[in-house]
Homo-oligomer: A and B are copies of this chain.
């Protein structure tokens, strides 16, 4: 999967596991909760959530089993997956597990928790006010990100809480398709001159994020993943076009000077 470049290239910034996890959490309002029954058995259930910063907020009926579970034992874990089309291989798409403890919000955080949940979940303003519903905020102890085959890492809770969700990657699919369909020559230049695979024969873009592009590169030595980084991190998806033009120019300048 990863061949060494043939010429030395500098490090190419990529999103940290903490950023990847924050991005996945920001992309949906549906999670699976693992809680513990009175017997200490695991129980998996679907929940909806809002976020205060990166902190998940749930609102569960005390009558539902998962609600009763958390009342009895506050340990819990959330699995969240990137929403993908049904034909996508789920094993090769992003997901994150958070584990820790759920607590009822402190007085100073109750309003923010309520607002985050009610803003994220349809109809929540009505049902979250029912007497049998309890708000829960997660005290995160473990963050585990899986990006797909061979792409995974853990993050410490502090890094996760301090990280920003990527403003670009959830919206990059169209640009990635466009690059592959209409700018294969530019991607090949990048693979050769920015990623250092000077013998590359084809290059396709796998995904884009605020820091750069992941490429799938063919060479006579075999196939490899490669990374090319933008000049500056992007703050919005509409910066992708100018950033890839800049990458192409930079590749071409190196090609012409070598």
Interface on A for B, CB 8 Å cutoff? 28-37, 40-46, 48, 65, 75-79, 81, 83, 86, 89-91, 95, 97, 99, 121-123, 144, 146
Return chain B residues, CB-CB under 8 Å to A32. Answer: 32, 34, 44, 46, 79
Return chain B residues, CB-CB under 8 Å to A79. Answer: 32, 44-46
Return chain B residues, CB-CB under 8 Å to A42. Answer: 34-36, 42-43, 75-77, 99
Contact B41 A144 (CB under 8 A): no
Residue from the set A45, A86, A97 with the largest chain B CB neighbour count within 10 Å: A45
Give the number of times this chain occurs in the complex, counting copies: 2
Contact B46 A95 (CB under 8 A): yes
Residue from the set A42, A86, A91 with the largest chain B CB neighbour count within 10 Å: A42
Name the one of B43, B83, B91, B121 contacting A97, with C-beta atoms under 8 angstroms: B43
Known: A45-B97, A99-B42. A122 touches B89 (CB 8 A): yes
Known: A32-B32, A34-B35, A77-B34. A44 touches B97 (CB 8 A): yes
Return chain B residues, CB-CB under 8 Å to A81. Answer: 30, 46
Known: A83-B86, A122-B89. A33 touches B29 (CB 8 A): no
Complex Cα distance A37/B34, Å? Answer: 11
Return chain B residues, CB-CB under 8 Å to A99. Answer: 37, 41-44
Contact B43 A90 (CB under 8 A): no
